[in-house]
A and B are shown apart, each in its own frame.
Chain A
């Protein structure tokens, strides 16, 4: 059974810590007990730093007793996708390649969170090197969906979503390159926010596709997403694509929201392939906005709908083949014992260290960048990317945000799509174009299928307007309160 704290939002836990109703040590113990009770079945965590978390919780309680608490996140455990560096902790990317890797330094988001008093609680399972949509590509075995253990949690941040849905921790970090925060958030019935490209530093995030990767937040409520985003956002000179944007108090902005937004509905995002139950739930959410004074406009994103997946799999694999060249068995990571000579060390270490999906993407990316194919594939994809971005820019001129399904279906069965890479890629059809355009996107729960599986509403915002995006998301969330439902585990 879950105890009283396991399903409370972080904002409420912060209040209870502030008033002395609970201690950070007690909170960490509650998370540890829940993790021990359910994670054998859910398998959200690759590892958990029990002693480290308890020590940091003690520090937090002492700070608070001395009147030196650092803010609302002080003493609150946060789970990290196993792709973000925490000094002294493992960083595996759920790959055999990095099975024994220990981070020598902190990611910028880690520095910011620990400075705010948050407690790095454990390392969350993912598709290997964030390549996948189901968490089945983990070298350490799949994570299960807490709502139905025979189904996938989505991916690649499947562990980050499942840990929140299972009541193990209230806040987790994920990364999103083509939907890897929003899609698992939808499939697990939680809130997942991918910020604008450039708002959150990527320093200390193991790179997959650098022009698309973005760290973001996974939480039970929109308010919690706002709280966590405020702690990790901001310019960082160690990431050259980091933007000098103002970081408002996102949580305070929620209270100031004016409502009556102009919201666009891209008609192509409701076509063939969309599960009828998912479509109905999303349309009901759109009707809620209309009924509460918002102006709903049908808009058209023909290029994004038709070409985003093709563009993505050329650009992302090209960048991946380049980024993953660093895993060569020399300076860190797996080194083959079978190598005949120095060059064979590369071939054998990479063959032993990488799983199938990573190998596939490296081969594809190598192909699209290779002599004779670069213009036809990579350069053409980058040009279509420009057209897709322009298409979003045009519709967002007249709309505050766009509404769509997050994923075309609810959670699918473990093994259902794992032998057909293209079918798996198509599950990201509504999320991928948002990364290509660099926009912020959020998935909020908007109901359940008759089979009891969560459904997600995606809201796409203007660049660096996370405050507006969160307000629009909260407007729906508060009226429906899907977050009060939990899986029985």
Chain B
């Protein structure tokens, strides 16, 4: 496990597509440093030969019939779109 100083807030904010202010970066770095220090204790546990657990439900390989069924009508699917035109979502220009 890593030392707290390994938390690179600029790199992470970029990966998470999150614009942070200078004050936020300073505050979150400090608070997350405390939390990372706390979770260091997991190093004490012997996990050799232990299978990781993704979730607790005893279900595996859930299959469904590939059947056509009613979906959300276009108007409903677009009702929360911030900007739309002719049944399409409008975004800022992507390609110059």
Partners in one complex: yes
**A interface residues, Cβ below 8 angstroms from B:** 100-102, 104-105, 197-198, 210-212, 237, 240-244, 303, 306-307, 309-311, 313-314, 321, 325, 328-335, 339, 341-343, 345-348, 350-351, 354, 356, 359-360, 362-364, 366-367, 370, 373, 376-377, 379-387, 389, 421-422, 425, 436-439, 463
Question: How distant is B89 from chain A, measured CB to nearest CB, in Å?
Answer: 6
Q: Cβ of B12 and Cβ of A197 under 8 Å apart?
A: no
Q: Cβ of A347 and Cβ of B81 under 8 Å apart?
A: no
Q: Cβ of B57 and Cβ of A313 under 8 Å apart?
A: no
Contact of A438 with B56 at beta-carbon distance under 8 Å, contacts A240-B62, A347-B18, A370-B12 already known:
yes
Q: Cβ of B12 and Cβ of A366 under 8 Å apart?
A: yes
B20 / chain A contacts, CB cutoff of 8 Å:
351, 359
Contact of A330 with B19 at beta-carbon distance under 8 Å, contacts A211-B55, A367-B32, A421-B35 already known:
no
- Give the complex CA separation of A4 and B79 in angstroms: 42
Question: How distant is A480 from chain B, measured CB to nearest CB, in Å?
Answer: 32
Contact of A370 with B15 at beta-carbon distance under 8 Å, contacts A382-B52, A386-B50 already known:
yes
- Kindly supply a per-residue 1/0 record for chain B positions 58-96, scoring 1 wherever the CB is within 8 Å of any chain A CB and 0 otherwise: 110010100000001000110111110000010111100
Contact of A197 with B28 at beta-carbon distance under 8 Å, contacts A101-B80, A377-B1 already known:
no
- Which label, helix, strand, loop or mixed, suits the secondary structure of the B interface? loop
Q: Considering residues B1, B53, B89, which has the most beta carbons from chain A within 10 angstroms of its beta carbon? A: B53
How many A-B contacts if CB must be within 8 Å? 178
B52 / chain A contacts, CB cutoff of 8 Å:
379, 382-383, 385-386
Interchain CB contact (< 8 A) of B19 among A241, A351, A362: A351
Q: Cβ of A313 and Cβ of B35 under 8 Å apart?
A: yes
What are 12 pairs between A and B in contact, CB < 8 Å? A104-B79, A310-B38, A310-B41, A314-B39, A321-B16, A350-B18, A356-B27, A364-B35, A366-B12, A382-B53, A383-B45, A438-B57
- Give the complex CA separation of A212 and B53 in angstroms: 12
Q: Cβ of B35 and Cβ of A307 under 8 Å apart?
A: no
Q: Cβ of B35 and Cβ of A347 under 8 Å apart?
A: no
Q: Cβ of A104 and Cβ of B91 under 8 Å apart?
A: no
B80 / chain A contacts, CB cutoff of 8 Å:
100-102, 104, 331-333
Q: Cβ of A342 and Cβ of B93 under 8 Å apart?
A: yes
Contact of A307 with B41 at beta-carbon distance under 8 Å, contacts A359-B28, A360-B32, A363-B9 already known:
yes
Contact of A363 with B28 at beta-carbon distance under 8 Å, contacts A240-B59, A310-B39 already known:
yes
Contact of A342 with B91 at beta-carbon distance under 8 Å, contacts A313-B35, A383-B50, A384-B42 already known:
yes
Question: How distant is B5 from chain A, measured CB to nearest CB, in Å?
Answer: 12
- Kindly supply a per-residue 1/0 record for chain B positions 26-56, scoring 1 wherever the CB is within 8 Å of any chain A CB and 0 otherwise: 0110011011101101100101001111111
- Give the complex CA separation of A197 and B55 in angstroms: 9
B1 / chain A contacts, CB cutoff of 8 Å:
376-377, 380
Q: Cβ of B56 and Cβ of A104 under 8 Å apart?
A: no
Q: Cβ of B51 and Cβ of A311 under 8 Å apart?
A: no
Q: Cβ of A306 and Cβ of B41 under 8 Å apart?
A: yes
Residue of B nearest to A341 (CB): B92
Q: Cβ of A328 and Cβ of B17 under 8 Å apart?
A: yes
Question: How distant is B12 from chain A, measured CB to nearest CB, in Å?
Answer: 5
Q: Cβ of A335 and Cβ of B83 under 8 Å apart?
A: yes
Q: Cβ of A341 and Cβ of B93 under 8 Å apart?
A: yes
Interchain CB contact (< 8 A) of A342 among B55, B72, B92: B92
Residue of A nearest to B61 (CB): A240
Question: How distant is A222 from chain B, measured CB to nearest CB, in Å?
Answer: 24
Question: How distant is B32 from chain A, measured CB to nearest CB, in Å?
Answer: 6
Q: Cβ of A359 and Cβ of B18 under 8 Å apart?
A: yes
Q: Cβ of B50 and Cβ of A387 under 8 Å apart?
A: yes
Q: Considering residues A241, A313, A334, A439, which has the most beta carbons from chain B within 10 angstroms of its beta carbon? A: A241
Contact of A241 with B55 at beta-carbon distance under 8 Å, contacts A329-B82, A364-B32, A380-B42 already known:
yes
* Nearest 4 Cβ contacts at the A-B interface: A438-B56, A382-B52, A332-B80, A335-B82
Question: How distant is A142 from chain B, measured CB to nearest CB, in Å?
Answer: 20
Interchain CB contact (< 8 A) of A198 among B15, B34, B57: B57
